[in-house]
Amino acid sequence: MISKRKKIYILSSLLFISFLLNLAAGSDLNSFLNAYSSDISSDIIFKIRLPRALMAILAGGTFALCGAVFQSLFRNPIASPFTLGTASGASFGVTLFISFFSFGGLMGMSLTSLSAFLGAILSVSIVYFASAGRKKFNPNSMILTGVVINFFFSGLILFIQYLTDQANAVRITRWTMGGLDVVGMNSVYFAAFVFTAGFVIIYNFRDDLNLLFIGEEISVSRGVNIDRSRKYLFIFSSLMISSIVSFTGPIGFIGIIAPHIASKYFGRNYRTLLPTSLMTGAIILLVCDMISRTILWPAEIPVGIITALIGAVFFIRIISK
């Protein structure tokens, strides 16, 4: 019987190995070994592959962490960060920007990312205020509202794509597939700040998450302010997801897959589940990114397609149980 501590060491080792393999994966596997002997190889590793691998860790970790939080908040094993329309809202924001604006940046900031962030916040805000009855957090109402918002924004996106020109339609479709097309470290620095701040805040609610997952009655009997905890966790998780999605686009299913895998090997105690879920999510996205870059080399498949294919199989398995 392997102890929980040894399992965590194994998981950490898998994360480190996945990170190194992700750096090495590409058109030339020797470029990683010769990174310091060639200026060209060094640029490939440190300016292209390193930011991409770090973003994969941050994005995968964020999706998994927030997926674990949402599964507790809604007491629903298939709840994910995109359940409440975050992905469709971000896609709608990008669709509007690409179709009606032509400039690409402002003071060094990508306006595509900014429009995705604002769209995601808009979607989450609509879901929250539309379903908040009598100033109380209503999980079932929020899930249903999120489904409706997803369909609504998806319809708007298709309508705008139909009206816009072909080049813009292709750009919109490509963005909605999700990807880790990061060059340079500026985006990584911001994502790292959001990830670190969000994790620290959410981890402080770890005991509340344990009680919320068990049930409202027990939470109240233990003195947990359910509405306050749910509101704070929902707001901080939504801000994290909106920020990361603005850089990567909607990369689905990691928020469902990772918490289930982590809970199977480490249990449902959120003291352990939160860090192990984020490490599991980071590993999944690193591996999927390697597959997306190498399976049809020299062509590259958007990583969102790979996670969707794997996640769909996993999703069916969850439903069957």
What is the pLDDT at residue 35? 53
Is the model more confident about 229 or about 117?
117
Residue 158 has pLDDT above 70, yes or no: yes
Q: How distant, in Å, are the alpha carbons of 45, 55, 86, 187, 211 from that of 184?
A: 11, 11, 26, 7, 42
* Rounded distance between C-alpha atoms, residue 37 and residue 46, angstroms: 13
Scanning 74-215, the segments in alpha helix (DSSP H) are 86-100, 111-131, 139-163, 166-176, 186-203, 206-214
Q: Which of 75-79, 134-138, 190-194 has the highest mean pLDDT?
A: 190-194
Lowest-confidence pick of 37-46, 83-92, 274-283: 37-46
> Looking at per-residue confidence, does 229 or 266 come out higher?
266
Least confident among 26-30, 97-101, 151-155, 317-321: 26-30
Write the pLDDT tens digit of every residue in 53-64: 999 999 999 999
| Tokens coding 118 | 């604002």
Strand partners, 106: 109
pTM of the model: 0.90
> What one-character DSSP code corresponds to residue 44?
I
For residue 159, pLDDT over 80 is answered with yes
DSSP secondary structure letters along 163-204: HS-HHHHHHHHHHHT------SSHHHHHHHHHHHHHHHHHHT
Per-residue pLDDT, averaged over 239-245, amounts to 92
Helix (H, G, I), strand (E, B), or coil: what is residue 307?
Answer: helix
Task: Tell me which DSSP letter residue 35 carries.
Answer: T
The string of DSSP letters for 46-66 reads: IIIIHHHHHHHHHHHHHHHHH
Lowest mean pLDDT among 9-13, 150-154, 210-214, 302-306: 210-214
How many angstroms separate the CA atoms of 284 and 279, rounded?
9
Which pLDDT score is estimated for 36? Answer: 52
Q: How high does pLDDT run on average in the chain? A: 84
Distances (CA, A) of 134 to 105, 165, 214, 247, 266: 42, 45, 24, 35, 38
What's the confidence (pLDDT) of residue 45?
77
For residues 207-227, give the mean pLDDT.
76
Residues in contact with 169: Cβ distance below 8 Å, sequence separation at least 6, in sequence order: 161
Q: Are 80 and 70 in contact (CB under 8 A)?
A: yes
Strands 109-110 and 105-106: antiparallel
For residue 140, what pLDDT is reported? 78
d(C-alpha 299, C-alpha 293), whole Å: 7
Is the pLDDT at 48 greater than 90? The verdict is no
* Residue 177, pLDDT above cutoff 70: yes
CA distance 151 to 149: 5
- pLDDT at residue 26 above 50? yes
| Per-residue pLDDT, 107 | 47
State how far the Cα of 205 lies from the Cα of 236, in Å rounded to an integer: 11
Higher-pLDDT residue of 39, 207:
207
Phi, psi dihedral angles at 24 (to 5 degrees): -80, -30
Per-residue pLDDT for 77 more than 60? yes
Task: Tell whether the model's pLDDT for residue 245 goes beyond 70.
Answer: yes
What pLDDT sits at residue 254? Answer: 92
* All domains in the chain, ordered by first residue: 4-320 (1.10.3470.10)
User: Is the pLDDT confidence value at 283 over 90?
Assistant: yes
pLDDT of residue 11: 94
Contact 67, 262 (CB under 8 A): no
Check if the beta carbon of residue 164 is closer than 8 Å to that of residue 99. Answer: yes
How much of the chain exceeds pLDDT 70, in percent?
87
- Looking at residue 37, its pLDDT comes to 56
Is residue 249 classed exposed, middle or buried when 0-12, 13-18 and 19+ CB atoms within 10 A define those classes? buried
Please choose, from the candidates 75, 64, 63, the residue with its C-alpha nearest in 3D space to the C-alpha of residue 211: 75
Q: Which residues pair with 110 in a beta bridge?
A: 105
